[in-house]
A and B are shown apart, each in its own frame.
Chain A
């Protein structure tokens, strides 16, 4: 954690980071733990995510905003996914399981062009890609800012966005043809 402060240059950013830390750390842990189902590993994910956030703290304008809440939990989820991948752990997302269990092709195609249909297509895309695409398409972050936040290379982030987007487009087009 000492290192976290060391990567932040400006005093105002250090104060902002401290505020953010106390406001969101529990929620970050919660998001990570839903994936890892391991309290200690979830703390590790929070720590990892905080490094990325510290590196990019100057891009956060309002600590209390929904965008910031989404930003920090996305970072935590991504870190958790990385840990799960390293540990070859089974990734459990309760919300995903419940929505998939109600899935079937008939209801999918009947619901074409509805939000429900589109949302279900989205669920078929790997979680990791969805998190990165969220940062790119909704938060409109630059590729290098996403890479810095998530501790990944620009090329890897670009690739994940490209794959995720193509998967979504392909799935949607298949539905159109059916």
Chain B
């Protein structure tokens, strides 16, 4: 018998063996295996995060992609009285939906940051690449193997978020007990998170695939920067 014929016999035998094997695997119900809580929990977390992202992308991502500017974010802080510093403004009252030009980004109505905040602990593997302190904002840029995320603190007060997409849906999240607004820019592959700590508005931008993980390590973990603080 030629070798090619033997090869064909082998192929057929392998196929028959697999068919037998598959036919002997019972239905899911008959198997009746209950995956360990840890296994199940991780899967559910992963898929629910994924589902949220898909929902968000489906609702605005495709539409956003057709915009020339795509999604531009402006963080406009409306200066309010100093007495508001320790208040946590309710996001639901300050969201405005606008289609804006990218040149409208980062308008501030004035004011200064009296207390600069910094991360209490840097996420594993990341290091501080840049720290820029301005009167009205402080920007931290962290990097790990080409992946970067940015934290920005702005002057205290009400936060108005403007997004270059009409009818965009922003997701309300609770991360580490703090109310957070979040949305994704599919076009530029970034997640954005907005929140308040000690009355100061912060926002985080991070690549889409690590956004939620980074957010859970950053949000609620901003502490007052002292003169003895290092830049981490």
Interface residues of A (CB under 8 A from B): 1-2, 4-6, 11, 14-15, 18, 21, 25-27, 29-31, 33, 39-40, 43, 46-47, 66, 69-70, 73-74, 95, 115, 118-119, 121-122, 130, 133-134, 137-138, 165, 168-169, 172-173, 176
Q: How many A-B residue pairs have CB under 8 A?
A: 105
Say yes or no: A27-B14 contact (C-beta < 8 A), given A1-B42, A40-B36: no
Interface of B (DSSP majority class): helix
Are A165 and B45 touching (Cβ within 8 A)? no
By a CB distance below 8 angstroms, the chain B residues around A43 are 35-36, 39
Residue from A2, A14, A15, A122 whose CB has the most chain B CB atoms within 10 Å: A2
Q: Looking at the complex, which one of A40, A70, A73, A169 makes contact with B6 (CB distance below 8 Å)?
A: A169
Chain A nearest Cβ from B200, distance in angstroms: 30
| B82 at the binding interface (Cβ < 8 Å) | no
Are B21 and A95 touching (Cβ within 8 A)? yes
Chain A nearest Cβ from B29, distance in angstroms: 9
Residue from A73, A115, A138 whose CB has the most chain B CB atoms within 10 Å: A138
Are A30 and B26 touching (Cβ within 8 A)? yes
* Residues 35-65 of B contacting A (Cβ, < 8 Å): 35-36, 39, 42-43, 45-47, 49-50, 54, 57
Say yes or no: A70-B22 contact (C-beta < 8 A), given A15-B54, A30-B31, A134-B14: yes
